[in-house]
Amino acid sequence: MESPFKPDVLKGKVALITGGGSGIGFEISSQFGKHGASIAIMGRRKQVLDSAVSDLRSLGISAIGFEGDVRKPEDAKRVVESTFQRFGRIDILVNAAAGNFLSAAEDLSTNGFRTVLDIDAVGTFNMCHEALKYLKKGGPGRDSSSSGGSILNISATLHYTASWYQIHVSAAKAAVDATTRNLALEWGTDYEIRVNGIAPGPIGGTPGMSKLVPDEIENKTREYMPLYKLGEKWDIAMAAIYLSCDTGKYVNGLTMVVDGGLFLSKPRHLAKEAVKELSRVVEKRSRAKPVGLPTSKL
């Protein structure tokens, strides 16, 4: 699908995207690049990085890949500094690296729980912490008249209520959302850095989808989705552009839900036609038989 944004909305910007080699992270990398940004992607798997960088370059995008694990502060520091050395500035940090698998709480080890918190929550913090120096107003490579850069944290909606077999990810994403809000407050005030998030719903063609929603249950899931379909990676990338370029200049501390309204939804127990027929009947019945009075008194 064509982008509704002008192709130069991110011209001259430099974006560092963790988990940028695959899934939603890669789509954000390529859409940011198509809109003028230079791209650094960070990931653990060299092969994935190499192939993503070569795909980006074949689109005419200035791109580089850095191997690293967001859980390790020394990797975060090295990759942030290498990005600055390569491009001379950093404007946007996207934290898209995440870990996930289905596991019943009772089968999950402490290390399993901790691993996902480490990747999602600690990893996000590490990257933000190291990037601060470059993102802040007046930081290296930034001209003195412009504001600070921006941060985008990819989250989820799992923790808004509760999600089966996702205790680790729900806890991790709750921490990510709290990090988004707290940094938006502290760094928005002190450094003019905007910090926002995106909470994607089920997005087709992503590692998350294939891990969490096996094909057998995918169709069932669609039955109770308000828009009746899966999202596309494009939907997330467009939200990311909106939040990262000037369109989002007054948005700070928001985690934007991009899930077609699924976060609001509950399975529909009655068809609309049945409601039309039943509702008045039930109303009449309850007037004839006021609630609270035993039938014997009527």
Q: Using CB under 6 A as the criterion, which residues of the chain lie in contact with ligand COA when the complex forms? A: 98-101, 103, 108-109, 111-112, 115-116, 207-208, 211
What strands lie across the sheet with 150-154, from one edge to the other? 63-67, 38-43, 14-18, 92-95, 150-154, 194-200, 255-258
**Rounded Cα distance, 174 and 179, in Å:** 9
Among left, alpha and beta (phi > 0; psi -120 to 50; other), residue 13 is: beta
**Considering beta carbons, is residue 5 or 234 the nearer one to ligand COA?**
234
Task: State in angstroms the smallest separation of the CB of 176 from ligand COA.
Answer: 12
Structure tokens at 111: 């290390």
Task: State in angstroms the smallest separation of the CB of 277 from ligand COA.
Answer: 43
Task: State in angstroms the smallest separation of the CB of 64 from ligand COA.
Answer: 21
Strand 14-18 and strand 38-43: the pairing is parallel
**Considering beta carbons, is residue 5 or 101 the nearer one to ligand COA?**
101
**Separation in Å, CA 83 to CA 11, 40, 65, 136, 180:** 17, 6, 9, 16, 22
**Considering beta carbons, is residue 115 or 265 the nearer one to ligand COA?**
115
CB count within 10 Å of CB 85 equals 8
**Considering beta carbons, is residue 36 or 202 the nearer one to ligand COA?**
202
Task: State in angstroms the smallest separation of the CB of 19 from ligand COA.
Answer: 8
**Considering beta carbons, is residue 101 or 263 the nearer one to ligand COA?**
101
For residue 169, what is the enclosing H or E element? helix 167-191
Task: State in angstroms the smallest separation of the CB of 43 from ligand COA.
Answer: 9
**Considering beta carbons, is residue 18 or 31 the nearer one to ligand COA?**
18
DSSP 203: B
Task: State in angstroms the smallest separation of the CB of 88 from ligand COA.
Answer: 31
Number of residue whose CB is nearest ligand COA: 99
CA 94 to chain centre: 9
**Separation in Å, CA 17 to CA 20, 97, 124, 251:** 5, 8, 11, 20
**Considering beta carbons, is residue 23 or 149 the nearer one to ligand COA?**
23
Burial of 243 (0-12, 13-18, 19+ CB in 10 A): buried
Task: State in angstroms the smallest separation of the CB of 36 from ligand COA.
Answer: 28
